[in-house]
Structure 1
């Protein structure tokens, strides 16, 4: 089992995300921002399902190229990254059209086909980025295309079957994440290639008396670089959330209520930054280095970034509603997203053994039960006050983390710790 970080926290590792990788992350987050067109005022189960489906597709595409850059390191081809960026850009640009067709029954299937083609091309191109014979031990699903078969079939299906096939493809990829082991794949391939029959075939194919063909070897991620990329992605998503709230405020009437809502929203998002980055690791709240496998960390990162991106939508709607109570579905989206964030924090805390029983129970009560009670009971509370209450919950968690988890010493200079330290 490969851990997300097996390096001591006090060892300085010089490698950081490159400019091309940062550019790539910004393009990927542009796709996440486009998902705001899916979660609008008319929120329902169909919108939530479509949001989750499109987000997972964008995240899987980003992860494919992110892990390629992580393993390739100095041999990363910038042109290949740029092609991946273009594919993600096409996916992002088609999101509003997909939302209009599916949620408003626009009838035009072109945006859905464009999104599917861009996703297929991006995943296939990304999976071919690895050196010949290399097997990624930590997250092998990015090298295989079984989950793309339903997406291919969807190009000839109608609207409802398209979405069903997309969901089947994403679920297949998620299942492969759970069951595929890079070490087992490597062992099976090596065992197959070393068989006498295979050796004879290689001698005929490669024209060599020793039957040697392409060497099959396993590669692993750079844990410090991976933690930096995951943390940066969460930071950029939080920054995009601030942009969405600011954009909504720019169209509202300026008064003290708007100022109070904007300040509370900013503090809430900044508090999530503190919990995920300052007191967390790799962008995950309550995680500690070297405690969980890379595969588990990537799965939790997907969920955390999805929840953080979701919070921006109801916050923007609060700015629009002002002092009015929020519609039930918007109130539940906001409170449910905050509760989901703290639920994931409890999971990471327990999985990485960074929480004792008392701390876990207190996080469940204050971080999960309290927001859910607000969603259930705060029907007459203004959206502004609801944000204030949720902000106080986040600040309380920050205060307890600051008190109970001492921040580790910073590096000797002003540059960030690449191993994810604070």
Structure 2
């Protein structure tokens, strides 16, 4: 008897990997802007731009996940161009909020918003043409365009609030919509009505041609694309989310290397750099080896509508930690500036809070909360508030120490299983 062939697990295509190159450039631009941010408003501006780029990458990757071999190459390449435009405009977005800009960069906020909206529309229409209803992350097929457009015509002090509202609506709609069968039903009905309208238009067109004397055999008609609820390819989705984490970790490593390139290698610089490298290793182990989510190994797998926002929290935390290390290494023997200390430990706190969300969703055991998560989180916040007296190298060692303790839970679980 011949052996039955099992279907091969799908991996990222060359097109998707090529598409990821624009995210590398975008992550570098956002990290550079965040490094120069001085106020909460400037940090919020960087966070909003990061979300916009992340959401375009996410919606396009989700579209490719459900489309598979039917993925429209032109759509992906056009989105790639759009992300490149967004990345190039980052230095000039809101010059009033971001320091060190020039007058010739004015007007790039409009280009950023337009490129963002165009990219989201491309992903939405591509999925609709294939008759796919992406119920597990509805933002792929919709975008709250009104706040983004309105932000172009109001003062910047109001504009970033509109961006914030749009982001909250975008994430909230997707998470609530994915959980609610009624919302999925509404999405399906909307696409079904669109399909029925297309069928009626085609029937009227055929009737007119027949009236002109053409026989039905001579007519060339477009096949009807029937509506279906898209099924997520979980292995491929996890791989794509993990690759994005590798991208931001690579940018963090690049910042660490750049910080060392122009500094004398004193003991504090060497110690801080080594600690920073160990932090990146810990983040890689926790976030990629354990399923790109920092939840403990004993939790149940996260649903897509849970894992995607967790991915946003993890990657944003890594970007913030990288910005903190970019300032810490040159000042390894000195007291770190307050905002850089908050980048470092605020990013770590965001990472731990994302782990809390993932742990709640995956029903982590109580001992993990009490023995690992809560102590690490409280210690992180305490150093962020009261750690101004510590030199930079000591802060770097503390970040690594907190992550090292946090990761011992998974090591303990592995030993118990073996």
Q: TM-score, normalised by structure 1?
A: 0.84
**Partner residue of 1:218?**
229
The Cα of 1:408 is off from its aligned counterpart by: 9.0
Question: 1:119 is matched with which residue: 108, 116, 119?
Answer: 116
Aligned residues: 393
Task: Give distance in 1, aligned partners of 2:352 and 2:39.
Answer: 23
Task: Give distance in 1, aligned partners of 2:176 and 2:205.
Answer: 33
The Cα of 1:193 is off from its aligned counterpart by: 7.9
**Partner residue of 1:323?**
333
Consecutive unaligned residues of structure 2, counting only runs of 5 or more, are 1-5, 209-222
Flag the 1:164–1:13 CA change in 2: closer, same or farther, 3 A. same
Residues 94, 112 of structure 1: 8 Å contact kept:
yes
Consecutive unaligned residues of structure 1, counting only runs of 5 or more, are 1-10, 410-422
**Partner residue of 1:374?**
383
Question: What's the secondary structure of 1:300's corresponding residue?
Answer: helix
How far does the alpha carbon of each residue in 1:251-279 deviate from its partner, in whole angstroms, 9 at most, with x for none? 2223232222111101001101111122x
Residues 306, 361 of structure 2: 8 Å contact kept:
no
Q: How does 1:101-140 map to 2 (within 5 A)?
A: 101-104=96-99, 109-130=106-127, 131-140=129-138
Question: 1:35 is matched with which residue: 30, 36, 43?
Answer: 30
**Partner residue of 2:141?**
143
Question: 1:385 is matched with which residue: 376, 386, 394?
Answer: 394
Flag the 1:47–1:400 CA change in 2: closer, same or farther, 3 A. same
How far does the alpha carbon of each residue in 1:199-248 deviate from its partner, in whole angstroms, 9 at most, with x for none? 9888657759xxx9652221122111001111111122111111111112
Q: Which sits farther off after the overlay, 104-113 or 306-315?
A: 104-113
Residues 174, 305 of structure 2: 8 Å contact kept:
yes
Q: Which sits farther off after the overlay, 46-55 or 150-159?
A: 150-159
* More helix by percentage: 2
How far does the alpha carbon of each residue in 1:138-196 deviate from its partner, in whole angstroms, 9 at most, with x for none? 11221123x1233233344444444343333323322321332463235534786899x
How far does the alpha carbon of each residue in 1:364-412 deviate from its partner, in whole angstroms, 9 at most, with x for none? 3332011111122222110111110110121222333212235999xxx
RMSD (Å) for aligned C-alpha atoms: 3.1
**Partner residue of 2:220?**
none
**Partner residue of 2:177?**
180
Structure of greater Rg: 2
Residues 234, 305 of structure 1: 8 Å contact kept:
yes
Residues 308, 337 of structure 1: 8 Å contact kept:
yes
Residues 342, 363 of structure 1: 8 Å contact kept:
no
Flag the 1:220–1:406 CA change in 2: closer, same or farther, 3 A. farther
Q: TM-score, normalised by structure 2?
A: 0.84
Residues 90, 115 of structure 1: 8 Å contact kept:
yes
